[in-house]
């Protein structure tokens, strides 16, 4: 069975052909094609509205908008205008963004008085789902924002992990793996947001139940620039209550190969995996942290629990 395309149905939200809104010297010189094609071939009206009529959506999963990213987009808008209209829904007091908050912010930097919008009808679940899809397609979300978006779909809208995975075009393991990041201490989540700690490191640190130990491990990983394998050794020692320094590493080539295999196994099963290898022999340790997780791993391996 082929994997569903990421963002199936996103064309209904963002499928319009490019419509350019260039900065204009005066309203008289500001022209725009009046319509845009929708996914089903119908035509939708592109409206010019004052930028301050538009408000960010509280359901938007993306929270971090680096200033340099906004400045880059602003430079493009100065040159080419807003190529893609913003997608909004009408609320009692304003037009609420469904997609295009980055463009909306950049328009303010440029000084545009109006922005192009297409008004759609969408409930809260649809808004969150489509905002997630748009950002995932464009790789705009950091891992914590992605996890929080999935968590909203599960908690606020009572979707199962399987339903979330299907709707956003991800595997269930990828969704489960992302959600596990929210078990981390908030200070560690911030390190992941800032890309100071990788998702691979974070998953290993999740092997520690004590939040204080998690923080201790994360701080040391950042301070000493430990790789994932070294982090696993550190976590093991913390679990054993031992302050020993890391054991002597394998030869660099072997160590790198083992680490890559561990990463692939970890992504496949969605939990901590340790590969022990020496001269063609070894073992694979797969960790689980609940009966449900064990059942999921068994299903992945094709083993039926008696």
Side-chain half-sphere exposure of 41, counting CA atoms within 13 A: 0
d(CA 205, CA 187) in angstroms, rounded, equals 13
How far from the centroid of its chain's Cα atoms is residue 209's Cα? 24
d(CA 93, CA 80) in angstroms, rounded, equals 31
Listed in sequence order, the DSSP H helices in the chain are 11-14, 67-80, 101-110, 124-137, 143-155, 161-168, 172-180, 186-193, 199-205, 211-224, 228-240, 252-269, 291-300
pLDDT at 31: 39
pLDDT tens sequence across 258-286: 777 877 787 777 777 788 877 777 888 88
The two structure tokens encoding residue 89:
């829904």
pTM of the model: 0.51
Cβ atoms of 207 and 274 closer than 8 Å: no
Cβ atoms of 272 and 239 closer than 8 Å: no
Residue 251 CB neighbours (<10 A): 8
Residues of each domain in the chain carrying CATH 3.90.1530.10: 11-130
pLDDT tens sequence across 191-226: 998 889 999 999 899 888 888 899 999 999 999 999
**Strand 54-55 and strand 95-99: pairing?**
parallel
> Using N-to-C axis directions, what is the helix angle for 143-155 and 186-193, rounded to 10°?
120
Q: Which of 127, 33, 134, 126 lies closest to 81, judged by CA?
A: 33
How far from the centroid of its chain's Cα atoms is residue 46's Cα? 29
pLDDT at 20: 46
Residue 72 Ramachandran class (φ > 0 left, ψ -120 to 50 alpha, else beta): alpha
Residue 189 CB neighbours (<10 A): 21
Cβ atoms of 161 and 296 closer than 8 Å: no
Positions of the chain with pLDDT under 50: 1-20, 24-42, 243, 245, 247-248, 250, 253
Q: Is the alpha carbon torsion for 233, 234, 238, 243 positive or negative? A: positive
Fold designation for 11-130? 3.90.1530
Residues carrying an active site annotation: 101
SS3 at position 297: helix
Residue 90's beta-bridge partner residues?
Answer: 95
């Amino acid at each position: 069975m082929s994997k569903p395309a990421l963002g199936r149905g996103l064309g209904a939200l963002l499928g319009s052909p490019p419509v350019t809104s260039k900065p204009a010297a005066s309203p008289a010189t500001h022209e725009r094609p009046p319509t845009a094609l929708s996914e089903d071939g119908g035509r939708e009206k592109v409206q010019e509205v004052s930028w301050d009529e538009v408000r960010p959506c509280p359901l938007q999963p993306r929270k971090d908008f680096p200033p340099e990213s906004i400045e880059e987009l602003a430079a493009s808008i100065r040159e080419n205008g807003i190529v893609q209209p913003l997608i909004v829904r009408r609320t009692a007091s304003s037009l609420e963004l469904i997609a295009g908050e980055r463009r909306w912010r950049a328009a303010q930097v440029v000084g545009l008085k109006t922005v192009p919008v297409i008004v759609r009808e969408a409930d809260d679940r649809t808004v969150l789902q489509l905002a997630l899809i748009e950002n995932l397609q464009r790789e705009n979300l950091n891992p914590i924002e992605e996890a929080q978006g999935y968590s909203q779909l599960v908690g606020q809208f009572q979707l199962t992990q399987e339903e979330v995975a299907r709707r956003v075009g991800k595997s269930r393991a990828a969704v489960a793996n992302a959600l596990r990041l929210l078990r981390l201490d908030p200070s560690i989540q911030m390190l992941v947001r800032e890309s100071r700690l990788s998702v691979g490191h974070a998953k290993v640190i999740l092997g520690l139940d004590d939040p204080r130990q998690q923080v201790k491990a994360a701080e040391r990983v950042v301070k000493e620039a430990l790789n994932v394998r070294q982090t696993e050794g550190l976590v093991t020692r913390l679990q054993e209550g031992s302050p020993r320094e890391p054991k002597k590493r394998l030869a660099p080539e072997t160590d790198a190969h083992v680490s890559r295999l561990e990463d692939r196994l970890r992504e496949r099963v969605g939990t901590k995996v340790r590969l022990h290898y020496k001269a063609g022999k070894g073992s694979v340790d797969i960790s689980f942290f609940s009966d449900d997780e064990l059942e999921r791993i068994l299903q992945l391996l094709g083993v039926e629990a008696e």
